[in-house]
Chain A
Amino acid sequence: MSGWRSLPAGAAVLRPGSTADNITGTWRVVRPVIDQERCIRCGICWMYCPDSAILELKREYTTRGGKRYEVTYEVDYDHCKGCGICANECPVKAIEVVLEAK
């Protein structure tokens, strides 16, 4: 840790968004798992996640049934705290909540 001379004056935090360094994924007791086959790409989980831990990726996906999507929603497990809001809100129950393997 830095000595007093090298810390920024007034405790200013100079790196915006730096909490992203914190791996809050370790808080998780349960893990949300998205079923890409079921997911209808509505974005509701992404919208409600308090930890910005549902990533909206520009990645194509074609279901076994042949439906093509341009985006894929994925969980950022580094930051997901496992609250389960996404699963609770998913209109098609495409998110399963499983116990974290300890």
Chain B
Amino acid sequence: MLAGLQRGARERAVWRRAGLTTNYAVAFAVKAVDVDVVAVYPITPQTTIVEKIAEFIHGGELRAELIHVESEHSALSAAVGAAATGARTFTATSSQGLELMHEVLHIASGLRLPIVMAVPTRALSAPISIHNDYSDIMNARDAGWAILIASTAQEAYDTVIQAYRIAEHPDVQLPVMVAYDGYLMSHTLEPVELYREEHVREFVPRRGRRNVLDVRSPITLGAFATPDNYYEFKYQQEAALRNVEGVLREVEADFAARFGASYGPLEAYRLEDADYALVTYGGAATGNARVAVDMARERGIRVGLLRIRLYRPFPSAPIITALAGVKAFAVIDRAIAYGSPAPGPLYKDVAAALYMEGLTVPGISVVHGIGQRAMYVEDFYGVIKMLAEGASTDKVLFLGLRE
């Protein structure tokens, strides 16, 4: 519930209410923060972002350079060049595009460049699929970027705006990905409240206190590091990424004061008194899980839902707090970590976090929605029942799979 004060702030900040796809909402956020350089290569389901941004630029609504790169590898490379020159920079991609960028993902974070990238997620080839899952993002999770996963168009809009504050924060100076469900969100209309751009620009001021390419003080970026120093630079990156959780809270406090909204690193739903928990991320899985939780609650099962919004750095402490009291949990992943101890990437993170705290809460690794395989509320409800009955000896479930 919005406090009265925040509601007032929001009413002042909102410029217009519109029905937008998440991709369009993201494009509006890019315009609102007054991005300078955009380098994007088309790929489904990302493409409508760059199309919308092109409309803004060609229409004179956004003063930015749109670099019509010839690949995603070049998109991120151009973004690196632009960010190294001090420009506020945006890129976006999905699936194969994110894979093609992979080399440069590590370079962008290694060079400590505050690039923001939107990723409407999509399954990976082969076989080629244009539909949704989170294989692309999960393959990028160890590249040193902060990763936030939004679950609504409004949240994606807000998160892109916040992402610039986080990325450019002096304690962070790292690139940030904002992910969400391809198609299920990227191409689905939702009501979105857009803010007055003056308000957004006040929220994301230009600080420009980092080392950039400038003939007035020539520096070398992209140096070669020997074993004497390489490790220290990589640790710097790790330390900076760990700062993101605190910075996110700080940034969100300010965001709440100005725009009357905040999300936190994770979202707990009916978890306070829960015996069981579902854990997931993104739009569709969260939506289904929420309905399944309500159904179960109606039938007397005390179950709650934990949605992970900040995925990297992993917010272990609040997750442990949220899960410490439950009898069992299930993590519903939208990707397969092939051949891993558990098939769910998020499950592995949650299990490791609990283990490191000395907790042994029983958990199930559930995979669903691969290549946009339809996820039904009943599937999620079935998982809850399984948890509640304690009957399952299965630690791994591939839901929706035909035998």
Contact = CB atoms under 8 A, between A and B. Distances in A.
Interface of A: 1-5, 7-14, 16
B229 A9 contact: no
Given A10-B112, A13-B220, A16-B219, A4 B211 contact: no
A4 B225 CA distance: 13
Nearest to B221: A12
Contact of B110 (A2, A10, A16): A10
B351 to A, nearest CB: 29
Contacts of A9: 112, 173, 210-211, 236, 240
A95 B353 CA distance: 70
Per CB-CB distance, the 10 closest pairs between chain A and chain B, nearest first, are A10-B112, A13-B220, A4-B232, A16-B218, A10-B111, A9-B112, A12-B211, A11-B223, A4-B235, A11-B233
A15 to B, nearest CB: 9
B228 interface: yes
A22 B167 CA distance: 36
B239 interface: yes
Looking at chain A's contact residues, is the secondary structure mostly helix, strand, loop, or mixed? Answer: loop
Contacts of A16: 218-220
Interface in B189-236: 210-211, 218-223, 225, 228-229, 232-233, 235-236
A10 B230 CA distance: 10
B322 to A, nearest CB: 32
28 contacts: A3-B232, A4-B232, A4-B236, A4-B239, A5-B236, A7-B229, A7-B232, A7-B233, A8-B211, A9-B211, A10-B110, A10-B111, A10-B173, A10-B211, A11-B110, A11-B111, A11-B222, A11-B229, A12-B211, A12-B219, A12-B220, A12-B223, A13-B220, A13-B223, A14-B211, A14-B219, A16-B218, A16-B219
Query: How many B residues touch the partner, as a band?
Result: 20 to 34
Nearest to A12: B211
Contacts of A11: 110-111, 221-223, 225, 229, 233
A10 B221 CA distance: 8
Contacts of B236: 4-5, 7, 9
A33 B113 CA distance: 48
Contacts of A13: 219-221, 223
A8 B113 CA distance: 13
A4 B238 CA distance: 11
Contacts of B173: 9-10
A4 to B, nearest CB: 4
Nearest to A16: B218
B226 to A, nearest CB: 11
Nearest to A17: B218
